[in-house]
Structure 1
Amino acid sequence: MEIPVIDLSRYLEIADKLSTDPVILSGQVEEVGSWLSELCKEVSQILRETGALVVKDPRCTAEDNDKFIDMMEKYFERPREFKLLQERSHLHYQVGVTPEGVEVPRSLVDEEMQKKLKAMPKEFQPSTPSGPDPKWRYMWRVGPRPSNTRFKELNSEPVIPEGFPEWKDTMDSWGCKMISAIEAVAEMAAIGFGLSKDAFTSLMKQGPHLLAPTGSDLSCYGQEGTVFAGYHYDLNFLTIHGRSRFPGLNIWLRNGQKIEVKVPSGCLLIQTGKQIEWLTAGECMAGMHEVVVTNRTIDAIKLASQQNRSLWRVSSTLFAHIASDAMLKPLGHFVESPLASKYPLMCAGEFVEQELAVINLKGNKGES
């Protein structure tokens, strides 16, 4: 199965019109072309059934993605001693670099999750990690932050490595473009779910969004079956990735089926996180996923070696969040869901802190 590609171009063309016309009334889409209504329903249906969505956004080009990955490859190729200068362990790795061997996948230490995994059909079971994830990660905050908040983030100044004069502009530019793509999808999903267009995006304003690319050294860890990111869900609202130069991402559909994701050139992958699950009372579940070296990864490694290209697998991951001081609760008609009681009213910042506490207690210091 391949996830269909949604082209955002036509939606973006009429986005201004949607923002000024009263197209939403009592949760129903009115005065909107049937094609737009059907497109939004398709977006929400794909997110509901797969937990993932592939989109093409004219504002996010393949050249943008390449420029970002080129810079991150150069960074991750630098010696370990250099990269450790950007480590901020006292800030719980929420800015700067997280070295390999720090993040521990929850599936490795969560006994309840392990029982569920063993009950899966063999062909759909995730790979078993042998220890902490052998990947590096860089945390870079994107977008404005609230001047007043109950949740003071552990954040001094952004960490910029020496010798990369283009660092801030490249990180901010690519991060902001991906957030724009997330906002468009969030609007479409809201309409498709029968909510007001800004039901999700209004809660995202000044959220603690993180551009968090990973770097995995395939020259050291390029053996088939190596687990770079163990089976897990993301705790944020929606996660977005530019296309990686090396495949290996597996996701699990709502029905439990495991598929390997293939993202076409010039496209972006969006995955559902725990916060959208909360807002939809489980109608849209947080997507489970892993990153593993597969036979397709091996083929890409061979080709890159022949072409004398970098063997660092970079994922241009961005975690989009609900604002820390906003309230998480089932929205609109989702309040009537029989599962709504599983998602009680909670401040988004408190929810994130709880999730991080659970992860930290289990040794996973780097996830966010």
Structure 2
Amino acid sequence: MVSTSAMELPVIDLSPYLELYAKSSGSPVNLKDQLDPQLKDLCSEVSRILRETGALLVKDPRCSVEDNDRFLDMMENYFEKPKEFKRFQERPHLHYQVGVTPEGVEVPRSLVDEEMQQKLKTLAKEHQPITPVGPDPKWRYMWRVGPRPSNTHFKELNSEPVIPEGFPEWKETMDSWGYKMISAIEVVAEMAAIGFELPSDAFTSLMNQGPHLLAPTGSDLRHYGQERNVFAGYHYDLNFLTIHGRSRFPGLNIWLRNGQKVEVKVPVGCLLIQTGKQLEWLTSGECLAGMHEVVVTNRTIEAIKLAQQQNRSLWRVSSTLFGHIASDAVLKPLGQFANSPLAEKYPPIRVGEFVEKELAVINLKGKKEEH
């Protein structure tokens, strides 16, 4: 029986690439020609890990532990507020793509996707996810990061942000941490493109003015902190790449391409990156969207006991950011991936249409406001 104990993925230090970028002319298209063999190998390693595991640990000197802690402190403070206060920031008519999503709204894909349910039955028993009994009992806050297009067919996906009262530091904290994490995603996207033998701006050019979302979740461990409780049922992310700062409470399980389930251990000072469905589309399935779940494990229980002893918050906050391809761009296999025998599974579609279809499945495409 294969163990599902905590797994330490290899950590990629982005510093050498960042140093080269700082010295270069700033033109990422030409950057590929300036890479020494060691950096080319590093880019190949990034694409290999994303392809084989759907997850990657990185160290980015621009994203400090202090930045992550400041963000987690503020979000713990927010999620501790009464439900009535938090519901003032709810925007269902905008598909919950800004403001707060209360617990009990988002439905795990594995509960409603029959094809996914059939695939799950083929997994060995010890690698199967914990089956949720209904919608996720987690709160989530959606905060747009970065410039949005002035003209778009998808206004709900590019709406103005919502700021809760009583948090004067909100915008600066959200924007600061959000921009830093997007910068890390962009570097990984360039390195992956080089590793896949695409132009180094193949992905980042499509990310320009994308509806990137800083989307921390809040899970109440005081109420739901029993082992095997599911906070985020087995699912993939619909965006391009997802990045997380380290949470104060473990509980993330991922599935490798071979179907093996592993609990991810994120070292202090590292960021976790996961592959989303948009990357799968752009690579004709060379990179599959990474399947994952967030559940209460025995390691979560240990962290809860320690937090109680230290009188710390018992809200599990994830500092998650969803990096997106721009809403009005066309999602289709790039470069040599267009010639893949699997390319017909990934027909051209505008990204905004793709996102709206995916949101509808997981119950986040709310009704439009009546006028």
Scaled by the length of structure 2, the TM-score of the pair is: 0.94
Counterparts of 1:331 and 1:68 in 2: how far apart (Å)?
A: 36
Establish whether residue 4 from structure 1 lines up as the match of residue 1 from structure 2: no
Establish whether residue 192 from structure 1 lines up as the match of residue 198 from structure 2: no
What is residue 4 of structure 2 aligned with on the other side?
none
Establish whether residue 14 from structure 1 lines up as the match of residue 20 from structure 2: yes
- The structural deviation recorded for 1:90 is 2.5
What is residue 333 of structure 1 aligned with on the other side?
336
Q: Which runs of 4+ in 1 moved over 4 A?
A: 18-25
Counterparts of 2:246 and 2:214 in 1: how far apart (Å)?
A: 14
What is residue 146 of structure 2 aligned with on the other side?
143
Is contact 1:101–1:133 with CA below 8 Å preserved after alignment?
A: yes
Establish whether residue 254 from structure 1 lines up as the match of residue 221 from structure 2: no
Establish whether residue 219 from structure 1 lines up as the match of residue 241 from structure 2: no
Is contact 1:149–1:325 with CA below 8 Å preserved after alignment?
A: yes
Is contact 1:23–1:31 with CA below 8 Å preserved after alignment?
A: no
- The structural deviation recorded for 1:212 is 0.6
What is residue 205 of structure 2 aligned with on the other side?
202
Are residues 348 and 301 of structure 1, via their aligned partners in 2, closer, same or farther at CA, if it must alter by over 3 Å?
same
Give the letter aligned to residue 332 of structure 1: G
2:18 aligned counterpart, secondary structure: helix
1:87 pairs with 85, 90, 113, which one? 90
Decide which moves more: 348-357 or 196-205.
348-357
What is residue 109 of structure 1 aligned with on the other side?
112
Give the letter aligned to residue 300 of structure 1: A
Are residues 254 and 156 of structure 1, via their aligned partners in 2, closer, same or farther at CA, if it must alter by over 3 Å?
closer
What is residue 163 of structure 1 aligned with on the other side?
166
What pairs up with 1:291-302 in 2 under 5 angstroms?
Answer: 291-302=294-305
What is residue 283 of structure 2 aligned with on the other side?
280
- The structural deviation recorded for 1:347 is 1.4
Decide which moves more: 327-336 or 204-213.
327-336
Is contact 1:100–1:133 with CA below 8 Å preserved after alignment?
A: yes
Decide which moves more: 142-151 or 203-212.
142-151
Is contact 1:241–1:318 with CA below 8 Å preserved after alignment?
A: yes
Identity over aligned residues, as a percent? 81
Pairs aligned (count): 360
Is contact 1:251–1:261 with CA below 8 Å preserved after alignment?
A: yes
Establish whether residue 54 from structure 1 lines up as the match of residue 57 from structure 2: yes
Is contact 1:277–1:284 with CA below 8 Å preserved after alignment?
A: yes
Are residues 342 and 77 of structure 1, via their aligned partners in 2, closer, same or farther at CA, if it must alter by over 3 Å?
same
1:351 aligned counterpart, secondary structure: helix
Are residues 23 and 178 of structure 1, via their aligned partners in 2, closer, same or farther at CA, if it must alter by over 3 Å?
closer
Are residues 197 and 17 of structure 1, via their aligned partners in 2, closer, same or farther at CA, if it must alter by over 3 Å?
farther
1:14 aligned counterpart, secondary structure: helix
What is residue 119 of structure 1 aligned with on the other side?
122
1:46 aligned counterpart, secondary structure: helix
1:216 aligned counterpart, secondary structure: strand
1:223 aligned counterpart, secondary structure: coil
Give the letter aligned to residue 289 of structure 2: A
- The structural deviation recorded for 1:41 is 0.3
Counterparts of 1:345 and 1:365 in 2: how far apart (Å)?
A: 22
Counterparts of 1:21 and 1:89 in 2: how far apart (Å)?
A: 41
Is contact 1:237–1:321 with CA below 8 Å preserved after alignment?
A: yes
- The structural deviation recorded for 1:154 is 5.5
Counterparts of 1:18 and 1:365 in 2: how far apart (Å)?
A: 43
What is residue 324 of structure 2 aligned with on the other side?
321
1:240 aligned counterpart, secondary structure: strand
Counterparts of 2:223 and 2:309 in 1: how far apart (Å)?
A: 17
What is residue 369 of structure 2 aligned with on the other side?
none
Counterparts of 1:50 and 1:155 in 2: how far apart (Å)?
A: 31
Are residues 89 and 296 of structure 1, via their aligned partners in 2, closer, same or farther at CA, if it must alter by over 3 Å?
same
- The structural deviation recorded for 1:89 is 2.0
Q: Give the aligned CA root-mean-square deviation in angstroms.
A: 1.6
1:53 aligned counterpart, secondary structure: strand
Counterparts of 1:172 and 1:86 in 2: how far apart (Å)?
A: 18
Are residues 23 and 265 of structure 1, via their aligned partners in 2, closer, same or farther at CA, if it must alter by over 3 Å?
same
What is residue 68 of structure 2 aligned with on the other side?
65
Counterparts of 1:154 and 1:188 in 2: how far apart (Å)?
A: 28
- The structural deviation recorded for 1:82 is 0.9
Are residues 44 and 154 of structure 1, via their aligned partners in 2, closer, same or farther at CA, if it must alter by over 3 Å?
closer
Is contact 1:51–1:287 with CA below 8 Å preserved after alignment?
A: yes
- The structural deviation recorded for 1:86 is 1.2
What is residue 309 of structure 1 aligned with on the other side?
312
Establish whether residue 266 from structure 1 lines up as the match of residue 300 from structure 2: no
Give the letter aligned to residue 239 of structure 1: T
Q: Which runs of 5+ in 1 are unaligned?
A: none
- The structural deviation recorded for 1:2 is 2.0
1:8-56 deviation digits (Å, cap 9, x = unpaired): 111100113445579759xxx5442000000000000000000000001
- The structural deviation recorded for 1:336 is 1.7
